[in-house]
Amino acid sequence: MTLSLPTLHAVLAMGIATYLTRIAGLWVLRHVTLTPRVRAGLDAVPVAVLTAVITPMVFMTGPAEALAGLATALAAFRLPILAVVAVGVVSVVGLRALIG
Amino acid sequence: MRESWASEFTRGVATILPVAMAVTPFALIFGALAAQKGLSPLEVGLMSGLVFAGASQFVAVDIWQHPAPWLVLGFTALTINLRHVMMGASIARHMGRFSAASRYVSLYFLADEIWALAERRASVTTLTPGYFLGLGVTLYLGWIGLTVSGALAGSALGDPERFGFDFVFTAIFIALIVGFWRGYRTGVIVAASAAVAALTHLLVPGPWYILAGGLAGIATGAAFMAEDVEEQAA
């Protein structure tokens, strides 16, 4: 169990930077008037951000990942989350073996 | 009052548990990769506890050197986690029941999965600090425990791609997106966000595609849904 000083500094820098991004939204809200348009934009945040995060994996890696993404989405309309993850993982492994 | 706090907390724990289970292989693999880069289990636990943001931790371990370059690692974490600003602004609107102090404590746990489940909760009923902390504390403790376990197990775990574990987060996020589905408008936001994220990912190195795609989706939502609100008012 070792802890080096440069590692501690790096982890602290990462932690402080990340916490600032987490609380910055409070300051943004304080300086923005919640018009219907702003409200509609904020309502879109979950779908917009989650989609952007997975775009390289689903749409830019290959046909196996794209098809597995589609299978996962279809499963997500009917199944609980743990089953959805199982469908995703199993289909990506199978499709990678089949079509690479 | 205390009982209702406890029941809200328990409800949050129960909601996040399946997600925490799905994240398990990912956390173990992160710990193993960090150990391969020469981080001790203590250092892995410290990073998971202080940063608590999977994507940025993976990237940090990927570019890790000895001695650790704190400025590069701090700046990288900042850019990867800039999406938190949008997420925080959105969820903070639903923190009317939170004291100022509990907002700052709760937002420490603003990880993607916790935030998405809190948004879903807020879309059906009032979001409470108890529920949010039930989500947050559970995944937080799980993430620390599992990443440290991964570091202790070391390289025995192997390559994440072999078992499709690299697809776990993608599958969770797809499930969360579907949970937010509200007809064709959601599809338009998905299309705008994915198109701009893909284009940015092709043209600009680094994690900027998340910010660009996210902003494109937000702009699209602002255009489409505000129009809808005006139609209803007319």
pLDDT in tens, B158-174: 666 677 777 888 898 89
For residue B182, how many other CB atoms are within 10 A of its CB?
12
Q: Are residues B114 and B71 in the same domain?
A: yes
The alpha carbons of chain A give a radius of gyration, in whole angstroms, of 20
Q: Is B206 on the interface with A (CB under 8 A)?
A: no
CA distance A90 to chain B (A): 7
Q: Are residues B95 and B199 in the same domain?
A: no
Reported confidence tier of residue A43, pLDDT bands at 50, 70, 90: confident
CA distance B28 to chain A (A): 16
pLDDT value at position A80? 87
Q: Is B89 on the interface with A (CB under 8 A)?
A: yes
In a domain, B123, yes or no: yes
Residue B89: list chain A partners with CB under 8 A.
Answer: 25-26, 28-29, 32, 42, 45
Residue B17: list chain A partners with CB under 8 A.
Answer: none
pLDDT value at position B234? 43
Model's pTM, two decimal places?
0.81
Percent share of chain B, pLDDT over 90:
60
Higher pLDDT, B2 or B208: B208
Higher pLDDT, A58 or B234: A58
Average pLDDT, chain A: 93
Q: Are residues B142 and B224 in the same domain?
A: no
Higher pLDDT, B231 or B45: B45
CA-nearest residue to B109 within chain A is: A22
In a domain, B86, yes or no: yes
Tell me which of B131, B161, B191 is where a domain ends: B161
Q: Are residues B122 and B14 in the same domain?
A: yes
Higher pLDDT, B32 or A15: A15
For the question of an ipTM over 0.90, the answer is no
Percent share of chain A, pLDDT over 70:
99
Cβ distance B43 to A37 less than 8 Å, yes or no, reads: no
pLDDT value at position B148? 97
Cβ distance A56 to B197 less than 8 Å, yes or no, reads: yes
Q: Are residues B206 and B132 in the same domain?
A: no
Q: Are residues B44 and B145 in the same domain?
A: yes
Reported confidence tier of residue B80, pLDDT bands at 50, 70, 90: confident
In a domain, B173, yes or no: no
CA distance B38 to chain A (A): 10
Helix segments in chain B, DSSP class H: 2-36, 41-50, 54-62, 70-80, 83-92, 100-106, 112-124, 129-153, 168-179, 184-203, 208-233
HEC readout, A56-96: HHHHCCCHHHHHHHHHHHHHHCCCCHHHHHHHHHHHHHHHH
Reported confidence tier of residue A26, pLDDT bands at 50, 70, 90: very high
pLDDT value at position B233? 47
In a domain, B172, yes or no: no
| Most confidently predicted of A49-53, B138-142, B229-233 | B138-142
pLDDT value at position A63? 96
**pLDDT over 70 (residue B69):** yes
Test mutation, A32, A35, A55, chain B, max B CBs within 10 A:
A55
Continuous segment of H or E residues that includes residue A30: helix A5-30
Number of domains in chain B: 2
Over residues B2-41, the pLDDT tens digits come to 558 999 999 999 999 999 998 898 899 889 889 988 999 9
CA distance B19 to chain A (A): 7
**pLDDT over 70 (residue B126):** yes
Percent share of chain B, pLDDT over 70:
92
Q: Are residues B156 and B190 in the same domain?
A: no
Residue B91: list chain A partners with CB under 8 A.
Answer: 25
In a domain, B176, yes or no: no
Q: Are residues B69 and B115 in the same domain?
A: yes
Using a 10 angstrom Cβ sphere, with 0-12 exposed, 13-18 middle and 19 or more buried, the burial of residue B36 is middle
Higher pLDDT, B76 or B123: B123
In a domain, B75, yes or no: yes
Token pair belonging to B230: 């005006």
The number of C-beta contacts closer than 8 angstroms across A and B is 308
Tell me which of B161, B190, B214 is where a domain ends: B161
In a domain, B171, yes or no: no
In a domain, B167, yes or no: no
Q: Are residues B110 and B204 in the same domain?
A: no
Q: Are residues B61 and B138 in the same domain?
A: yes
Q: Are residues B218 and B107 in the same domain?
A: no
Average pLDDT, chain B: 89
Domain hosting residue B135, numbered range: 5-161
pLDDT value at position B25? 83
Q: Are residues B187 and B137 in the same domain?
A: no
